[in-house]
Structure 1
Amino acid sequence: MQIKQEKGHYTLYKENEAIGMAVVDGATILRLEIVPEWRGRGYGSYLVKELLRRGGGLDPKQTTRFTAPLPRDEAGRALARRFDFLPEGGRLVRRRVPDLSAVQLCHEFLEAHLTPGGLFLDATCGNGNDTLFLCSLAGQNGRVLGMDIQPQAVDRTNRRLKEAGYDKIGRAVLYDHARLGELVQPGKVDCVLFNFGWLPGAEHDIHSTADGSVPALRAALDALRPGGVLAAVLYSGKVIGDAEKQAALAFFRTLPLTKYTVLVCEFANWADTAPLPCFVIKK
């Protein structure tokens, strides 16, 4: 099958025969039809799915809103329900709001609790996403230090910092996060961010483990100033098991309430292996 597009007009072909069409204006499907003799074979679903895909409606990280006219028959209504279009105000509306990810939750928490101008550490810089976020949070008067044990992660992060114009604020170094206390003075850091697991896009046999992660968490707490925040996303699964996750949680439970506030933010209706965001606020 093939779909040809011309100025909002989509034609669905099976081999050389046009069997369906749609007219779209932005995120509004104005018209959609399948030739009668080709109906009931899934071609309507194929066409709708492709329209949504091209408009970002299948992207789990994107907020979208599509509209369409009310269908005239039960087949049309069934097709609408299949793709989560619901009647609203005399038309069909399909809304998609992205799930809140563990990393996004960490970012939002840090934005709400920290102010620009401090010293921020990305203890697992990976591809540089968290390092760039911390640079935006630190501002021109702040400083960000990223670290990783994999050279490609450090190189990639520094390249992204330069491309984004953050190389005057942040930099990444080749370093074991278990020894982060050697790079900063105790009690001087505003935030330490961990995103454990493996480097996205790399081999999964290289990943963080409890042997290094727990000492790193301990060193991070020593580095934090009063009011500073440690944020960590813990992972588990078939490849890495759950030893690191359980060891980190056990460590968090030992922290005295007189010195720390500890939050473990479980996604209650997700799988047990879902990423687990945790926060420690130093008093």
Structure 2
Amino acid sequence: MRIEKTALDAQNRCVYSLYKEKGCIGHAVTCADCFEALEIAPEWQSRGYGSYLLREVLRQNGGFDRTAPSEFTAPLPDAGNTAAQALAAKFGFVPRGGLLVRRRVPDLTAVELTHRFLRSTLAPGGLYLDATCGNGHDTLFLCSVAGENGRVIGLDIQPQAAANTNALLAANGMAAIGRAECCDHRELLRFAPPGSVDCVMFNFGWLPGAAHDVHSTADSTLPALQAGLDALKPGGVLAAVLYSGKVIGNAEKKAAAEFFRSLPLADYTVLICEFANWADTAPLPCFVIKREK
């Protein structure tokens, strides 16, 4: 089987044609994220081809992406069309406002929780530091929060990470807002004087896609966290995702958590967010808000 996609017009209407043994046995017509029609030839119905076609169209348009929200709509099927109703229900479409609607939100990972917290807390503008920029996804996120009047600096000790981050920012039109530098995160005050930063973000561990033998450790992490706190302005937020496991052990995660718990209440509000029904090695999102005097 194969599916061919054909653009119909400038309004993003497309037809997806399902072929089997050189013949077209069904098609779906979409307009952006709206299904206008989905049909399977009568002689090929009740064999799973409708499910296959719908699944592939959703997949090609981000409907199964665990990292991004999605929403698709479709017309309500006729009351007597039980097969269409069952197909819609199978893929999570529910009746709402005279249409079928399928909504998905990103899985609540430690990083997604961190992003949601920061987006709800930070305001556009100001200075933001991604102290462990990796491949640049957190830096890109901070650029979206900072906006055109803000500034974001990503740091990483590995040159490839800084290069990957700068390439990602350029590809997403954010090079005017953010940039990455090759630098040990313990030296972040080189790029921001004390009391000048709205947010410092850490996502510890190793560079995704690289060898696991290069990763952060407690020896470098604790000085970097202190530098991050020094960089914050009153009301600023430090966010850190801590990791443990077979490769990196538990020392860094334990030391950082103890460091956060030792911070004086007069100066900081500290949140350590535990996923209570996950494994002990689950990532640990932490937030420190510098209190205003």
Q: If the length of structure 1 is used for normalisation, what is the TM-score?
A: 0.80
Matched, 1:70 2:77: yes
Identity %: 61
Mean Cα deviation higher: 152-161 or 56-65: 152-161
* 1:201 and 2:209 aligned: yes
Match of 1:21 in 2: 27
Shift of 1:156: 3.1
Separation in structure 1 between the aligned mates of residue 100 and residue 197 of structure 2, nearest angstrom: 51
2:284 is aligned with 1:276: yes
Cα distance in 2 for partners of 1:64, 1:44 equals 20
Q: Which residue of 1 aligns with 2:230?
A: 222
* Structure-2 change in CA distance of 1:267 and 1:22 (3 Å): same
Alignment TM-score, normalising by the size of structure 2: 0.77
Following TM superposition, by how much is the alpha carbon of 1:15 offset from its aligned partner in structure 2, in angstroms? Answer: 1.8
1:258 Cα deviation from its structure 2 partner: 1.9
Change (3 A) 1:69 1:195: same
Q: Is the 8 A contact 2:272 2:284 kept in 1?
A: yes
Secondary structure of the residue aligned to 1:41 is coil
Residues 72-93 of structure 1 show CA distances to partners (whole Å, capped at 9, x for unaligned) of: 4544443222211223456533
Q: Structure 2: how far apart are the matches of 1:271 and 1:80?
A: 35
**What's 2:4 paired with?**
4
In the alignment, is the contact (CA less than 8 A) between 1:30 and 1:69 conserved in 2? no
Number of the residue aligned with 1:59: 65
CA RMSD of aligned residues (A): 3.3
Point out where structure 1 has 5 or more consecutive residues left out of the alignment: none
Do the aligned residues in 1 keep the contact of 2:71 with 2:101 (CA within 8 Å)?
no
1:33 matched to 2:40? The reply is: yes
Q: 1:23 to 1:107 in 2, by over 3 A?
A: closer
Q: Secondary structure at the match of 1:211?
A: helix
CA displacement 1:170-218 (0-9 Å, x = unmatched) = 5433222134356654444332211112223323332222332223212
Deviation string, structure 1 residues 56-85 (Cα, Å, up to 9, x no partner): 322331321221432645444432222112
Distance in 1 separating the partners of 2:39 and 2:29 = 7
1:257 to 256, 265, 275: 265
Does the 8 Å contact 1:189/1:223 carry over to 2? yes
CA distance 1:111–1:24, shift in 2 (3 Å) = closer
Alignment partner of 2:254 out of 235, 242, 246: 246
For 1:266 and 1:43, the matched residues in 2 are separated by 43
Picking from 48, 51, 55, the partner of 2:54 is 48
Of 149, 158, 170, which aligns to 1:150? 158
Deviates most, 106-115 or 9-18? 106-115
The counterpart of 2:239, out of the listed 231, 234, 251, is 231
1:278 Cα deviation after fit: 1.5
Question: Which residue is 2:184 aligned to?
Answer: 176
Equivalent position of 1:92 in the other structure: 100
Instruction: Give, in angstroms, the shift of residue 139 of structure 1.
Output: 6.1
What is the alpha-carbon distance in structure 2 between the residues aligned to residue 188 and residue 130 of structure 1?
20
Q: Residues 44, 208 of structure 1: CA spacing in aligned structure 2 closer, same or farther, 3 A cutoff?
A: same
Letter in 2 for 1:82: K
Tell me: CA distance 1:76–1:155, structure 2 relative to 1, closer, same or farther (3 Å): closer
Output one character per residue of 1:212-252: Cα deviation in whole Å (capped at 9) or x when no partner.
22232123223333322211122344544444333322221
Q: Which amino acid aligns with 1:203?
A: A
Return the alpha-carbon distance in structure 2 between the equivalents of residues 183 and 91 of structure 1.
52
Q: Which amino acid aligns with 2:3?
A: I
Give yes or no for contact 2:269–2:288 (8 Å, CA) kept in 1.
Answer: yes
Instruction: Provide closer, same or farther for how the CA distance between residues 42 and 236 of structure 1 changes in structure 2, counting only shifts above 3 A.
Output: farther
Aligned length: 281
| Cα distance in structure 2, aligned partners of 1:110 and 1:199 | 22
